[in-house]
Amino acid sequence: MKLLRFGPQGQEKPGVIDADGRIRDLSGVIPDIDGAALSDDSLARLRALDLTALHLAPEGVRYGACVGKVGKFLCIGLNYADHAEESGLPIPEEPVLFSKATSCIVGPNDTVLKPRGSTKLDWEVELGIVIGKDAAYVSEEEAEACIAGYCTINDVSERAFQTERGGTWDKGKGCDTFGPIGPWLVTRDEVPDPTDLHMWLKVNGKTFQDGSTATMIFKPAFIVHYVSQFMSLQPGDVISTGTPPGVGLGQKPEPLYLNAGDVMELGIAGLGEQRQVVAQA
């Protein structure tokens, strides 16, 4: 299934994509696409629905973030061997873990705001994991069943804030609008191999990232297992799993960063596409 949230910001309704690619309104069935809706039992009930009996959403409706009420928004850094090489950094022996503020989450096509004082605004197309079951100290074998599905994420980053402002990466990762998620949450049964998905990102029509989840160092099930050794994961938590080469920071002969008016387009095979225009905060 492709689950989503649609409507004005702050008033999103739950929805599902039908066999014809149209949005069907689930608000009479569940209150939201959030942790409570992502259990195996809940997803089984949604799969059994006759979607043709559900109302169609209006044409051209806004997509919200495909997960609501996200408790934790976690990220894995330097998780692609070719991106680590591009960055001139060694391949990590363990996953590099950091957080994005949940207040940065927006819809897949919402405006991205360049923060005040920003000089190094960057892009990162990433595979997102959405948790569907409580996970604490799970094994790698158990972790697969804790994943409800996958989605496309743009891990928007401000590199000067991230690395030049006195410490943790979080300052450059959690600014408002730095977390476009969606358009859909694709349930794991429809993603047979999340480690072999083409992913791409363009800026102003030029392709900068053209990679594959095949070059991930730490795979999704291992990531869920690993993170669960440090903190419990709950349904609706989101983990962004790293980016392939081609970020602005890695451009040669010198880095290239985003400015107001620039347009990002990105996508992952089977998980949908995003488009954001950059504006000054």
Domain assignment of residue 2, yes or no: no
Looking at residue 207, its amino acid is: T
* The pLDDT of residue 28: 94
- Cβ count within 10 A of residue 117: 10
* The pLDDT of residue 105: 98
- Cβ count within 10 A of residue 96: 16
Average pLDDT, the chain: 96
Domain assignment of residue 81, yes or no: yes
Mean pLDDT of the region 44-59 = 96
Q: Is the pLDDT of residue 89 over 80?
A: no
The helix (run of H) or strand (run of E) holding residue 43 is helix 40-47
Domain assignment of residue 31, yes or no: no
Domain assignment of residue 57, yes or no: no
Mean pLDDT of the region 239-244 = 96
Give 279's strand partners. Answer: 113
* The pLDDT of residue 199: 98
Domain assignment of residue 272, yes or no: yes
Each residue's pLDDT tens digit, 191-231: 999 999 999 999 999 999 999 999 999 999 999 999 999 99
Alpha carbon 172 to chain centroid, angstroms: 17
Domain assignment of residue 46, yes or no: no
Q: Is the pLDDT of residue 142 over 90?
A: yes
pTM over 0.75: yes
Q: How many domains does the structure of the chain reveal?
A: 1
Mean pLDDT of the region 12-25 = 97
Q: Which of 86-95, 200-209, 255-264, 266-275 has the lowest mean pLDDT?
A: 86-95
pLDDT band at residue 163, thresholds of 50, 70 and 90?
A: confident
Provide the domain limits for residue 270.
Answer: 69-280
- What is d(CA 23, CA 14) in angstroms, rounded to the nearest whole number? 10
* The pLDDT of residue 167: 73
Strand runs (DSSP E) across the chain, as ranges?
A: 2-6, 13-17, 23-25, 73-77, 96-99, 105-106, 112-114, 121-122, 125-131, 147-154, 157-158, 179-180, 185-187, 198-203, 206-212, 238-240, 263-268, 272-280
* The pLDDT of residue 91: 83
- What is d(CA 181, CA 137) in angstroms, rounded to the nearest whole number? 27
Q: Is the pLDDT of residue 155 over 90?
A: yes
Domain assignment of residue 187, yes or no: yes
Contact 51, 103 (CB under 8 A): no
Domain assignment of residue 113, yes or no: yes
Mean pLDDT of the region 109-125 = 98
Q: How far apart are the first and last CA of the chain?
A: 36
Cα separation values, 12 from 32, 68, 190, 255, Å: 8, 9, 24, 37
* The pLDDT of residue 84: 75
Mean pLDDT of the region 91-105 = 94
Contact 16, 8 (CB under 8 A): no
Each residue's pLDDT tens digit, 63-86: 999 999 999 999 998 899 887 777
What CATH number does residue 86 fall under? Answer: 3.90.850.10
